[in-house]
A and B are shown apart, each in its own frame.
Chain A
Amino acid sequence: MLDEIQKRLLEEVADLHGVPEGAYNIRANGQKAARNTTADIDITTKTDKSGIDIKIKPHTKNQSVHIPVVISESGLKEVVYNDFFVGEDSDVVIVAGCGIHNCGTQASQHDGVHRFFVGKNSKVKYVEKHYGEGDGTGERILNPTTEVYLEENSYMEMEMVQIKGVDSTKRLTTAKLDKGAKLIVRERLMTHGNQFAESTYNTELNGENSGADIVSRSVAKDNSQQIFYSKLEGNAACTGHTECDGIIMDNAKISAVPALDANNIDASLIHEAAIGKIAGEQLIKLMTLGLTEAEAEAQIVNGFLK
């Protein structure tokens, strides 16, 4: 059973107030806390290492899988491997996420390795939220690795959110796209205090008419630091767009390193990156509507990361 802290973490990372409907696997402090499978979605524990296999049968439509992880034990470090096998012609929502509550002095760390094998013509929406809290001096560390394999004409939309409380994160996402496959990524990151976040995307557009749109919006406050790498590799007639939009505040630093490799004459790739502080005129505009400078700043940041 989950305690109150774990329940609150669950709410933060998965918008869950209790056990979700459909298939789910809740992991708390390194142990399986709850699991439910359905006729179309099976979840089994890996035998060779820590983690689970999620198998979604072909033609599974309008179903969801929740696999949140909560950690409330200081000093717990774990590496978890989760593999998703999505059958052909499916349409599913997958919600993952990790919340750490650390009120101790030792670092708590969760490194999740997620692999997605998305079958032909399937559609997946993936939502991943990371959240940290707790008054302890122990660091809250999350290093997610995500591998995505998109088969012919499949579609995956990934919403990756890390807004609060994670001290250190190194995110690595790689994707390989077959013919006609599409990948949409919307990443939102906020760092504060002395936090550090690094996010890397390597996207290979291997099939004809494949397409990717990778957009990261981030806000760095206080003394925090962020690095964003995004590489698009166009190996066929394809379209790719990658964008990094960053707001820096206080003494924070953001680096954006977009890269394009066009290896085919019909590859069309675009990168955009813009980093800057909040524009003075934006603050003034909201102040003329009656907000204080601090309220205006919060409104701009919230909107930007929405």
Chain B
Amino acid sequence: MLELKNISYSAESEKGGEKEIIKELSLRVEDGKFLAITGPNGGGKSTTAKLIMGIEKPNSGSIIFDGKDITDMSITDRANLGIGFAFQQPVRFKGIRIIDLLRIAAKRNLTVSEACTYLSEVGLCAKDYIDREVNASLSGGEMKRIEIAGIAAKNSKLSVFDEPEAGIDLWSFSNLIKVFEKMHEDKSKTIIVISHQERILNIADEIAVLSDGKILHYGKRDDILPKIQGTSSAINPCRAITG
């Protein structure tokens, strides 16, 4: 179980001075749940994801994971404790191959066929990709899929995805939904996805709407979704493109 207790976080604003981004936020995610966090841009969604992974540290409040206070723990320790994080903008590396990255994520010497399975799941033809470097030669969409394959290989108890659909084309998008559905079949794993895509919200168990650093709505999908449909918190991808 993951619990955020009264988390506050501020950062230096562009105009100078401190800006409070997260305000006394509390949130509880039970094991095996799929939580989607949505809300308007600038509402604090990505910051919340980074606070869970330890990339940002809160000014006050505490984060409890599996009964352990992880508020002051490093990123590395959280990762080894069972938290995974998919970047909104995946990081590129010169000289590190896709198979190397998957092996680091899995923490063991994956065989080529094991690594291929992870790539196939995200719709990449494994033999074309396995030895490629995770560098600028890959497109944004390819990077996003590799990022998700890495999270699958890490097989964390809790996986946090920061806007996994950003920069992904429509074809990949329906595959992405399938990937999440498959991950969610394993009820020992908890998934948190930052997204305002209605199709992702549709497969979540719970939805939290974050606005101005606070929880605006939080509850079961069927209770929350009707309240936010048609707003920027639940975008339909076809409408988003045509509209």
Which residues of A line the B interface, CB within 8 A? 217, 245, 279, 281-282, 284-293, 299-300, 302-306
Contacts and interface: CB of A to CB of B under 8 A. Distances in A.
Contact of A287 (B74, B90, B105, B150): B74
Q: Which of B79, B91, B100 has the most CB of A within 10 A?
A: B91
B122 interface: no
Given A285-B87, A287-B75, A289-B105, A303 B80 contact: no
B94 A303 contact: yes
Contacts of A289: 79, 101, 104-105, 107, 150, 154
Nearest to B91: A285
A290 B79 contact: yes
Contact of A299 (B75, B96, B107): B96
A287 B93 contact: no
A261 B95 CA distance: 30
Nearest to B147: A285
B104 A291 contact: yes
A289 B107 CA distance: 8
Name the interface size band of chain B: 20 to 34
A284 B79 CA distance: 11
16 contacts: A245-B94, A284-B75, A284-B91, A287-B75, A287-B79, A288-B55, A289-B105, A289-B150, A290-B76, A290-B104, A291-B104, A292-B76, A299-B96, A302-B95, A303-B95, A306-B95
A286 B107 CA distance: 11
Interface string B125-152: 0000000000000000000000000100
A305 B96 CA distance: 10
Interface string B52-89: 01010000000000000000001110011000110100
Nearest to B80: A290
Contacts of A305: 95
Contacts of B79: 287-290
Contact of B91 (A282, A290, A299): A282
Looking at chain B's contact residues, is the secondary structure mostly helix, strand, loop, or mixed? mixed
Contacts of A288: 53, 55, 75, 79, 84-85
Looking at chain A's contact residues, is the secondary structure mostly helix, strand, loop, or mixed? helix
Given A299-B104, A303-B100, A287 B76 contact: yes
A288 B85 CA distance: 6
B179 to A, nearest CB: 19
Contact of B55 (A245, A279, A284, A291): A284
A289 B74 CA distance: 12
A255 B60 CA distance: 45
Nearest to B81: A290
Nearest to A188: B95
A290 B96 CA distance: 16
Given A279-B91, A299-B104, A303-B95, 5 more contacts: A287-B74, A289-B150, A290-B80, A303-B97, A306-B95
B93 A282 contact: yes
Nearest to B97: A303
A81 B46 CA distance: 62
Contacts of A290: 76, 79-80, 104, 107, 154
A286 B53 contact: no
A303 B96 CA distance: 5
Contacts of B85: 288
A161 to B, nearest CB: 14
A281 B105 CA distance: 16
Contacts of B101: 289
| Interchain residue pairs A-B with the least CB separation, the first 10 | A303-B95, A303-B96, A285-B91, A290-B79, A287-B75, A304-B95, A288-B85, A290-B80, A289-B105, A287-B76
Q: Which of A245, A287, A289 has the most CB of B within 10 A?
A: A289
Contacts of A299: 96, 104
A285 B105 CA distance: 10
Contacts of A282: 91, 93
A281 B95 contact: no
B233 to A, nearest CB: 27
Nearest to A300: B93
